[in-house]
C-alpha cells in the first residue's frame, strides 16, 4: 500500500469513532440518542435538499463537505451540549487540539483542505458556513420537536438559550429561521421550552 493511501485509511478508521460519540438529541421516535456520524450524514442530506432556502447562493458540495467534517474533532473533544455553559467555555481549545491531531493523520494537502473547511465553518462568515450552521441548528431542533420536546424538557431549556444559540441563524436562511421560530413558539405553548 502506498503511503498516501495508508494515511487516508488510517484517518477513515480514526473518524469511524464518530459512531460512538452520542449527542443529547434523540433520533426521530426517541428510542435512543443519535451519534455524531448520523448527525453529520443528516446535515449533508439537508444541505442537498434545502439549499434553495439559503439567503445567498451557496456551493452545495462545499456545504456538504463542511457538515460532514464539522464534528470530526469530537472524536477527541467529545460532544459539548449546546446549552452547557461550562463545557462551551473550553470547547474551542479542546477542538483545536483535536483538529491538530486528527486532521494531521491525513496527507498534507487533504489535511490543509479539511482544516480550512473546519476553520471556515467555525468562523461563520461565508454564505456556505452560515448555511451549514443553519442546518446544524435546525436538525436537532426539528428532532426535538418531533420527539415532543423531551430533550428540552430534560435539560430545562429556556427560550433565551435557544435564541442566543440561533442569533445568527437568520443570516443563513430567513425561511428556515421562520420555521424554527414557529417550532420554538409551539413548544413553549406545550411547556417543553421554558418561556422567559
| pLDDT mean over 170-175 | 98
Say if pTM beats, i.e. exceeds, 0.75: yes
Per-residue model confidence as pLDDT tens digits over 96-152: 999 999 999 999 999 999 999 999 999 999 999 999 999 999 999 999 999 999 999
What is the tens place of the pLDDT at every residue in 55-88? 999 999 999 999 999 999 999 999 999 998 898 9
Buried b / exposed e across 17-49, counting CB within 10 Å, b at 16+?
Answer: bbeebbbbbbbeeeeeebbbbbbbebbbebbee
**pLDDT tens digits for range 17-44:** 999 999 999 999 999 999 999 999 999 9
**175-183 average pLDDT score:** 98
Instruction: Compute the distance between CA of residue 168 and CA of residue 136 in angstroms, rounded to an integer.
Output: 12
**Residue 3, all three cell numbers:** 503511503
**End-to-end CA separation in angstroms for the chain:** 59
Q: What does the pLDDT average to over 39-56?
A: 98
The DSSP letter of residue 158 is B
| Interval 159-171 mean pLDDT | 97
Confidence of residue 1 (pLDDT cuts 50, 70, 90): confident
Are the C-beta atoms of 64 and 128 separated by less than 8 Å?
no
Give the pLDDT score at 196: 87
Contact 91, 76 (CB under 8 A): no
Amino acid at each position: 500500500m502506498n503511503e498516501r493511501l495508508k494515511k487516508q485509511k488510517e484517518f477513515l478508521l480514526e473518524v469511524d469513532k464518530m459512531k460512538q460519540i452520542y449527542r443529547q438529541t434523540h433520533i426521530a421516535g426517541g428510542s435512543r440518542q443519535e451519534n455524531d456520524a448520523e448527525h453529520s450524514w443528516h446535515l449533508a442530506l439537508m444541505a442537498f435538499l434545502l439549499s434553495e432556502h439559503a439567503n445567498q447562493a451557496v456551493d452545495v458540495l462545499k456545504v456538504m463537505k463542511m457538515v460532514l467534517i464539522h464534528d470530526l474533532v469530537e472524536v477527541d473533544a467529545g460532544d459539548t451540549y449546546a446549552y452547557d455553559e461550562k463545557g462551551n467555555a473550553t470547547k474551542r481549545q479542546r477542538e483545536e487540539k483535536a483538529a491538530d491531531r486528527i486532521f494531521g493523520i491525513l496527507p498534507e494537502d487533504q489535511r490543509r483542505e479539511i482544516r480550512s473547511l473546519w476553520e471556515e465553518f467555525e468562523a461563520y462568515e461565508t454564505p456556505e458556513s452560515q448555511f451549514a450552521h443553519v442546518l446544524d441548528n435546525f436538525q436537532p431542533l426539528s428532532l426535538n420537536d418531533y420527539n415532543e420536546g423531551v430533550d428540552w424538557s430534560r435539560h430545562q431549556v429556556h427560550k433565551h438559550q435557544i435564541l442566543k444559540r440561533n442569533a445568527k441563524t437568520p443570516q443563513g436562511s430567513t425561511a428556515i429561521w421562520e420555521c424554527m421560530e414557529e417550532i420554538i413558539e409551539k413548544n413553549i405553548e406545550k411547556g417543553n421550552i421554558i418561556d422567559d
